[in-house]
Chains A and B, each alone.
Chain A
């Protein structure tokens, strides 16, 4: 229950931020956290990065809705989630380097728990498409050992839990048009342009 008059009882943001950091550190040290997350800026919009104690588990576009993303992580990975950048510093640095054209591949521990079944197979194949290259959905289907599963590859790309790091943006339609992208077609075009220019 919140009263308007609680403004009479000041609590400064700095103190709350400090307490929040301390909570996240202690909780992590005691193994109490399923997921931590952190938001970073990028040329294609703000990104939410999330990690388990295994590694980076999710890269999401803020435009997907932070509450929705967190609820989804809670449902699939557990509800003990806190904002904290400790587990995500390396990922944030490497993404920053990538967007500056200074990094061509990611070297990060990944947690593929959100990629199951055939989608998982596709997600593990995508990093074989090198920086600056592209493949068609049917070529990826063939690589995944099921040349007729073109639609399923499309679905797998659309539901990639680790976009950018797992490069689903390098998969295009057979006619060369970019096709859909979870972060929007503009974002996909920006990534492809970036990789061509670097």
Chain B
């Protein structure tokens, strides 16, 4: 007998956050989805032995970070320059296209801003922890995340931001 929470809750509550982190780190394509799957498979393996006071979302974001690093290493080893996300003409009537535009804009941010957004702003890790991951001071992390957000708000047309609830 144990009192661990059903794993389904973790996927339901944090699946969206983990996908945002993966997309911000790896871009909106297949790599992010693979990292998402690897994250939850690893989490599922570890789940029964997890300490009861674990902050689940932060723990998942840390697992996601390791999986994203794995994906980046694999990419580097393969080192075949493949087409990045194709720049399809935007059709604003289609939310799928809009989503792609947003994530393409995230992918275009300088790396530090992108990672500060991924781990701190989207993933909810503290400034200090994020600073440990991407280097620099906690203050610099704060500024990088804010700069990244400002750029995104400027590049993305406001009337185009999703209106419905996103989670």
Contact = CB atoms under 8 A, between A and B. Distances in A.
Interface residues on B, range: 35 or more
Interface stretch (A16-24, A55-63, A140-148): A16-24
Contacts of B37: 19, 22-23, 26
Contacts of B47: 79-80
B110 to A, nearest CB: 17
Nearest to A4: B166
Nearest to A17: B15
A73 B47 CA distance: 15
A82 B19 contact: no
Nearest to B118: A9
Chain B, interface SS category: helix
A1 interface: yes
Contacts of B33: 15, 19
Interface residues of A, number: 36
B16 to A, nearest CB: 5
Given A26-B41, A32-B45, A79-B47, A9 B106 contact: yes
B161 interface: yes
Interface in B94-131: 95-96, 98-99, 102-103, 106, 121-122, 124
Given A19-B36, A79-B48, A10 B7 contact: no
Given A3-B121, A6-B166, A16-B15, A11 B8 contact: no
Contacts of A2: 17, 124, 167
Interface in A58-88: 67, 70-71, 73-76, 78-83
Interface string B126-167: 000000000000000000000001001100100001100111
Given A19-B15, A79-B48, A11 B166 contact: yes
Given A9-B24, A19-B33, A75-B3, A80 B122 contact: no
A198 interface: no
Contacts of A5: 149
The 9 closest A-B pairs by CB, nearest first: A1-B124, A79-B4, A81-B6, A70-B6, A7-B166, A74-B6, A10-B99, A11-B16, A9-B20
